Amino acid sequence: MPEVIRSVETVGEAILEMLQLRGVDTVIGGAPTSMIEAFAKYRAQGKPAPRAILTPHEQTAVAMAHGYFAATGRPQAVYLYSTVGTANGVGGIINAARARVPMVILSARSPIAEQRGVAGARDIHVQWSQESYDQAAMVREYVKWDYEIRRADQVADVIDRAFEVAMAEPQGPVYISIPRDVQAAAMDEIRASAASRRITDARMMPDPARLDEAADLLASAENPVIVTSELGKSAAGRAALARLCDVGGFGVLEASPVYSNLDPEHPCHLGYIFASQVSPDLEKADVIFVIESDVPWFTARVTVPDSAKVIQLGIDPFYQRLPMRGFPCDVPLIGHAEPALEGLGARLESRIPADLRDRRIAAHRSRRQDQQAQLRDAIAREGQLSEITPLWANHCISRLLDNDTIVVNEYPIDLRIVQPGAAGSYFGPSHAGGLGWGFGAALGVKAARPDKTVICTLGDGSYYYCVPASCHQIAAAEDLPMLVVVFNNGGWNEVRKSVVSTHPQGWASKANEVPLTRFGVRAGFEKIAEAFGGFGAVVEDPAELLPTLEAALRAVKDEGRHALVNVVVSV
C-alpha cells in the first residue's frame, strides 16, 4: 500500500491532514487551537482543506454531524471545547449512540504543562478549573471508544482507529481528547497509508439454519406482520424489504420510524406505530418479524398473543447497550438486513402460494384505501375550523413536497399525511429523545445535500432545546437556506398526555389545565429568524397557512434565505 508523507508543523496540523486523508470533508463546531492555525496556513497557501463550520453551540455541532451522516453515509469530525463543551454536546452524543450514527468527536483538554516555555502550556484561569480527572467519563457510556492523544507519533494510528471503531457494526460515535500543549507540539511530518487499511465494510450474513427457521414460520403463518424502525438507514435494505413483501404479501408496520423504511405507496404498508397509537395487526399476529427495531411495540398498550412467534433481525437484534429490553426472540437473525431479506425471499418464493399472496395484498390495499378516505375526510373537516389543528398543518406541509424534498422531523409530523417517498427523503429523531436535535440535524443534511430542499418540522419544545440562535446563525453564515416549521401549541403536550395516561382518573386529568405543561407566553419564534436575515411569519388562520408556507418556501428557493413559519396549533 503506497505511503503518504506530508510535511506539518504541529500535532494539530497532523490531525487535520489525517482527517482529510480519511475522507472528512467537513469539520463541525470549530477546531482545537493548533488545528485553527493549520486552517489559517492552508488558507494562506491556497491548499485544500475540509470545510470548517463554526457553530456557536456544541449541541448544534453534534446534531449537524448526525444529519450529515444520515444524508451521506459518511462520518464527519466534530469539535467540542474541553469539559464544558463536551457537557453541551452530551445530549446529541446520546442521540447518535442510540441511533448508531458514527462520528469522530475531537475535544480539547486542558494543557498538561504549566511551565513557561512550553507551547500551549496553561496560561488562562479556566485551564485549571475546567480540567477533570477523567474528561471522557462524561460520555463513556455512550461512545464506542475513547482515547487521549499524548504523543505526536500516535496521530495516524489514533485517527485510523477512531474511524475503524466508529464504522464497525454496530456503528456509533467515538471520542478523542487532545491536551492543548500536545496539539501545539512541534512535528515535522505525518506518515500514513494512502488509503485506510482498517476496512470495516462487509455484509454480515445470518446463520443459514436460522434463516430456514424463519422461513418455515413465515411460510406457515396465517397472520404474519413485519415491524421495523431503522431498516431504511440502508437503501438496499429498504428495497429488499419491498421485494420480500411482493413475495409473501406481508404487511409492514413502521414503529416510531427514524428513516423511511418502505415506500408508503406500497400496498403492504400498514401504517405507523407511535406512543399514542396501537395496531390490531399485532394483537392478532401469529408471527411477528421484527427488523432493526429497538421497541417494536408498547407492552403497556398492546397485548401480543403469547403464542405468537417472534423473529428478530438486526446487526444486534438484542440491543445489548440498552439496560433493559423485554421483547421475546424465538428466532434470532444476526446480520445486515439486506442479505437476510434476500435469503428469506429466495426460501419463500416457491412456498407462498400466489393466490394467498394476492389475497393478502388486496386486503392490505383495501384497508389502506379506506383509511386514506377517512383521513381525507378528517382533513377536510379540520380545514374548516377556526383554529389550525395538527392534522391540517400536516396536510399543508404535504402540499410542499416534491421529489427533491428531504423532511427532517423532531416529533410533530404525521407520516400518514407527510409521506416520505424515496429512501433518504425522511429523517426522524433518535429514540433516545434528546430534544433539540432536529434543527441542527437539518442543517447537517442541507450542508451535505445542498441540491435538496430541506424542510425541518419541530414542536415548540424541540425548538427551545435546539439553541435557536445558534442554528439560525449557522443557516445564515454558512448559506444553508431551508424551511423550518414550528408547531407551536404553547407547552409540553407530550408531557400532558403522559400525565393523563399514567393517571387517567387523577387530579390532572380533571383540571382545566395540567400543571407544569404550559409555557404561559406566546413566543415570536419568527422574529429570531428575522434577526439573522431569514424569512419569518406567524400563522393562526387555517386558510392562511398554505399560502404562508408557500411564501416561505419561495424565500428559500428563490432568495436563498432560510425561513421559519411559526404555526399556532390547537392542543
pLDDT digits (tens, 9 = 90+) for 154-195: 999 999 999 999 999 999 999 999 999 999 999 999 999 999
Read off φ and ψ for residue 521, nearest 5 degrees. Answer: -135, 150
Same domain, 241 and 319: yes
DSSP-derived secondary structure for 294-350: S-SS-TTT----TT-EEEEEESSTT-TTSS------SEEEES-HHHHHHHHHHHHTT
pLDDT exceeds 90 at position 287: yes
Read off φ and ψ for residue 187, nearest 5 degrees. Answer: -150, 135
Domain stop point among 134, 162, 193: 193
Same domain, 121 and 264: no
pLDDT exceeds 80 at position 204: yes
Same domain, 315 and 438: no
| Domain boundaries, position 481 | 383-568
Q: Quick one: pLDDT at residue 284?
A: 95
Q: Which residues contact 136 (CB under 8 A, 6 or more apart)?
A: 143, 146, 148, 175, 177
pLDDT exceeds 70 at position 260: yes
Same domain, 180 and 215: no
Domain stop point among 160, 193, 226: 193
How far apart are alpha carbons 29 and 55 in whole angstroms? 5
In this prediction the pTM is 0.96
**Per the structure block, which three cell numbers stand in for 544?**
392562511
CATH of the domain at 416: 3.40.50.970
Mean pLDDT value of segment 399-406:
97
Angle between helices 390-398 and 542-559 (to 10 degrees): 40
Asked whether residue 85 is domain-assigned, the answer is yes
Asked whether residue 256 is domain-assigned, the answer is yes
Mean pLDDT value of segment 359-381:
96
Confidence bin at 557 (pLDDT 50/70/90): very high
* 311 strand-pairing partners: 289, 331
Asked whether residue 227 is domain-assigned, the answer is yes
Asked whether residue 102 is domain-assigned, the answer is yes
Q: Which residues contact 185 (CB under 8 A, 6 or more apart)?
A: 10, 11, 119, 120, 152
pLDDT exceeds 70 at position 277: no
Average per-residue pLDDT for the chain: 95
Same domain, 186 and 236: no
pLDDT digits (tens, 9 = 90+) for 26-59: 999 987 889 999 999 999 999 999 999 999 999 9
Mean pLDDT value of segment 340-361:
97
How far apart are alpha carbons 190 and 344 in whole angstroms? 48
In this structure, are residues 238 and 232 in contact, taking their beta carbons and an 8 Å threshold? Answer: yes
Same domain, 359 and 389: no
Same domain, 359 and 409: no
How far apart are alpha carbons 194 and 18 in whole angstroms? 10
Same domain, 47 and 116: yes
pLDDT digits (tens, 9 = 90+) for 77-131: 999 999 999 999 999 999 999 999 999 999 999 999 999 989 999 999 999 999 9
State how beta strands 535-539 and 189-193 pair: unpaired
Asked whether residue 202 is domain-assigned, the answer is no
CATH of the domain at 271: 3.40.50.1220
Mean pLDDT value of segment 458-469:
97
Per the listing, cell 493548533 goes with 34
How far apart are alpha carbons 159 and 182 in whole angstroms? 15
DSSP-derived secondary structure for 469-518: HHHHHHHHHTT---EEEEEE-SB-HHHHHHHHHHSTTSHHHHSSS-TT-B
pLDDT exceeds 90 at position 439: yes
Q: How many structural domains does the chain have? A: 3
Same domain, 323 and 217: yes
Q: Nearest CA to 300 among 434, 501, 499?
A: 501
User: What's the start-to-end Cα distance of the chain, in Å?
Assistant: 62
State how beta strands 146-148 and 483-488 pair: unpaired
Same domain, 223 and 276: yes
Q: What single letter denotes the amino acid at residue 534? A: G
Q: Quick one: pLDDT at residue 555?
A: 98
Same domain, 137 and 72: yes
Q: Quick one: pLDDT at residue 514?
A: 86
Mean pLDDT value of segment 501-526:
86
| Exposure class string for 427-460: b at 16+ Cβ within 10 A, else e | bbbbbbebbbbbbbbbbbbbbbbeebbbbbbbbb
Q: Percent of the chain, pLDDT > 70?
A: 99
Asked whether residue 348 is domain-assigned, the answer is yes
In this structure, are residues 9 and 186 in contact, taking their beta carbons and an 8 Å threshold? Answer: yes
Per the listing, cell 513557561 goes with 116
Same domain, 88 and 182: yes
Domain stop point among 330, 364, 398: 364
Asked whether residue 377 is domain-assigned, the answer is no
Angle between helices 58-72 and 468-477 (to 10 degrees): 60
Asked whether residue 370 is domain-assigned, the answer is no
Mean pLDDT value of segment 550-566:
98
